[in-house]
Structure 1
Amino acid sequence: MTKLFALALAAVSSAACAQLPATNPMPDGSRDMYVGLGVVAKPRYEGARGMRRAALPVLQVQWSNGLFISGMRAGIHLSRSPRFESGPLLELHPGRDAEGEGGEIGGIAAVRLSPVEAPRAAAWPRRPAGVAAIGRRVQGGGFLNYYLTPDWRFTSSLLYGAGDARKGMKFELGMQRLAVVPDAHHRLGLDAAVGFGDRHYNGALFGVSERDASSSGAAPFDAAGGIKDARLGGRWHWAWSPSWMLTSHVQAIRLLGSARKSPLVERPTNLTVSTAIAYRF
C-alpha cells in the first residue's frame, strides 16, 4: 500500500479535523480517487451538550499535478521537496442556524439521521437558541507541512474569511503519526492539533452581542482572539482489498481560552466518532 493509501481517507472520515493528503509521486496525467459513505456522531455545534448523527458522504481526489480535493477542502501541492508540503488552500466553513443546527458535519454536507439530546439545562433550555445564525463561508489561505521523519509530519494552516462579516481568521498547528502498520491490511494513525482564532473568528462562533442577548437570554459576551481549542485523534484503516477499505476516526476536542468561557458553551470537551466504507478508483 502506498503512503497515500494509508492517509487517503483521514480527511473525509474525520468529521472534525480534515487532514491534507500527502504528496505522492504519480504518473503525469493520472489521478487517485476515493468515494464512499459513512456515519458520524458529533456535537450539534462546538461546545454543545447534545449530539447528532448523520450519514456522511466521503470524497477525496488527488491529481498528478498536485491538485487535490479532500472533503470540503481543496488546494494544490506546490513544493517538490521530500520534506516540505506547501500551497494554497480553500475550505468551506460550515454554517450554524439560530437553533445551533447546521446542514454540515465538519464542513461536509450530511444527511441528518436523528438527534441524540442530553438533558437540557434548566436555565437555558436549548443553547444557542436566539443568537444570530452563521452563514457558510469559503475561506482562503494556505498550508505548510514538514516531515520530521517519513512517518511523523508537522502541519500548519492559515485560513481567512469565516463568519458573516467574512473577516474571521483561524490558524492551526498539528503533529501527525502517519502510519503504524500492525499487518498488511491495517493502518493506525494519531494526530494532535492546537487551533487559534482571531477576534472576528472566535467572536462569530462564541460571542454574544447585545441583540443576541436580548433574544436568547444569554449574557453578552465578547470573545477575544487567541487559542481556541486542543484536539487529539486516532484513525484506523482496514483494507479489505486494493480497492475497498473501512476507515474509522475518533477525536476529542477541548475548548480553551475565550471560547471556553462563552455562555454558548454547555460542555467544553466534545467527542466525535465516525466510520465509513470507501472505494478507490
Structure 2
Amino acid sequence: MRPLRQFRLTLTLALVAYGCAAFAQDARVPLGLSGQAGIAAVQTPTYLGSPNRVTVPALDLSLSYRTRDWGHVDLDGRSGLSWSAEAGPFWGGVLLNVDPGRKERRPSGSYPVPGDARLKGMGEIRSSAQVGAMAGYGPIGILVLKSVGSRGSEGAQWSLLARHAVPVGDRLSLSVDGSVTWADRRQMQAYFGVSPTQSAASGFTVFTPKAGLEKADLSLGADYKITGPWSLNANIGVTRLLGDARRSPIVSRPTAVTAGVGVAYRF
C-alpha cells in the first residue's frame, strides 16, 4: 500500500478508512531510512454520509526506518506514528494516530477536517489522539483503534482487513483493498447519533444508534513508475455504511466514493 499513501490520507479524512502501517508495508522497502513526498488532487464527500462533495489537494510526506531484526518505524500523515514487525507470514504492531473529528461547516484547506453546513447545530467533534494495535497473517489483518482523552468521540473501532497486490509489468502495479468495521456505542453516537439537544438545534430527528457494524470499504489503487524515483498514483475507494450508521438521519447517501490522482517522489 505504500504507493497509495497520499490517497489513504484523504480517505482517512473522509472517514473511509483508517491507517495500518504494518499491513501497508511493501517487502521491497529497503533497510534503513526511506521516504516519500507527493501531492494529489482528491474528490471526496464532505463527511461520510454527505450528499455534497469537495475537491482538495492532498499533501504527503512519509518516513520509514526499517531494521533487519526489530521491525520498522513509520511516520506519515495517514497512519501517524507506528511500529510493526513480521515473522514469516505473521505480522503485528502498534500505532498512535489522530482522529480529525468533524465540524458543522464545509471543509477547507489542504488538510480539511470533515464537515458540512448541513450539520449546523450538531456541534463539533473535536480532534483526538487514537491508539491502536494490529495483527495479521499474510494478506488478512485486524486493526483496533481507540480514541483516548475526553476531547473526541472516546469511541473504539475494530476492522477486518484484506489486501491483494498484482504487479503488471515492470512499471505498473495494482492493488485491491477491503475492510469491514465494527464500532462501539460511543463511536456510533458521536458520528451518527442525534441527541435531543442536537435535534432542537439542527432539525434532525433524535437518533440513538447501537454498537454494531459501521461500514464496509473497497478500494482499487494503481502505481505507475514514470522514471527513476518518480511515479504516478491513482486510487478509487467506495464505502458503504451499514446498520444503524446507514439509518442515521444525518446520512443522505450511505454509499461514498473517493477518488484521487497524484505524483510521488520516493527517496
Q: TM-score, normalised by structure 2?
A: 0.87
How many angstroms does 1:69 deviate by? 1.7
Aligned with 1:75 (options 54, 77, 82): 82
1:265 correspondence with 2:228: no
Q: Is the 8 A contact 1:164 1:204 kept in 2?
A: no
Instruction: List per-residue Cα deviations over 1:157-179 (Å, max 9, x = no partner).
Output: 1011168455210111111002x
Local SS of the residue matching 1:249? strand
Equivalent position of 1:12 in the other structure: 6
Distance 1:191 1:264 in 2: 27
Distance 1:19 1:238 in 2: 23
Amino acid at match of 1:241: T
Q: 1:203 to 1:111 in 2, by over 3 A?
A: closer
How many angstroms does 1:97 deviate by? 1.1
Local SS of the residue matching 1:211? helix
The number of equivalent residue pairs is 251
Instruction: List per-residue Cα deviations over 1:43-76 (Å, max 9, x = no partner).
Output: 0101000000101001222102410023332200
* Gaps in structure 1 of 5+ consecutive residues: 1-6, 118-125, 148-152
Which range is displaced more, 84-93 or 259-268?
84-93
Aligned with 1:94 (options 90, 100, 110): 100
Aligned with 1:235 (options 203, 221, 236): 221
Aligned with 1:135 (options 126, 136, 159): 126
Distance 1:111 1:95 in 2: 7
Local SS of the residue matching 1:221? coil
Amino acid at match of 2:103: D
Distance 1:235 1:80 in 2: 24
Q: Is the 8 A contact 1:55 1:111 kept in 2?
A: no
1:84 correspondence with 2:90: yes
How many angstroms does 1:23 deviate by? 5.9
Q: Is the 8 A contact 1:144 1:156 kept in 2?
A: yes
Q: Is the 8 A contact 1:23 1:85 kept in 2?
A: no
Q: Is the 8 A contact 2:160 2:180 kept in 1?
A: yes
Which range is displaced more, 65-74 or 127-136?
65-74
Equivalent position of 1:172 in the other structure: 159
Q: Is the 8 A contact 1:12 1:60 kept in 2?
A: no
Local SS of the residue matching 1:219? coil
Amino acid at match of 2:241: L
1:145 correspondence with 2:136: yes
Equivalent position of 1:205 in the other structure: 191
* Gaps in structure 2 of 5+ consecutive residues: 12-16
Amino acid at match of 1:10: L
Q: Is the 8 A contact 1:94 1:102 kept in 2?
A: no
Q: Is the 8 A contact 2:20 2:134 kept in 1?
A: no
Distance 1:173 1:52 in 2: 28
Local SS of the residue matching 2:176? strand
How many angstroms does 1:110 deviate by? 4.6
Amino acid at match of 2:83: I
Structure 1 segments of 4 or more deviating over 3 A? 23-27, 101-105, 162-166
Distance 2:135 2:162 in 1: 12
Distance 1:103 1:194 in 2: 29
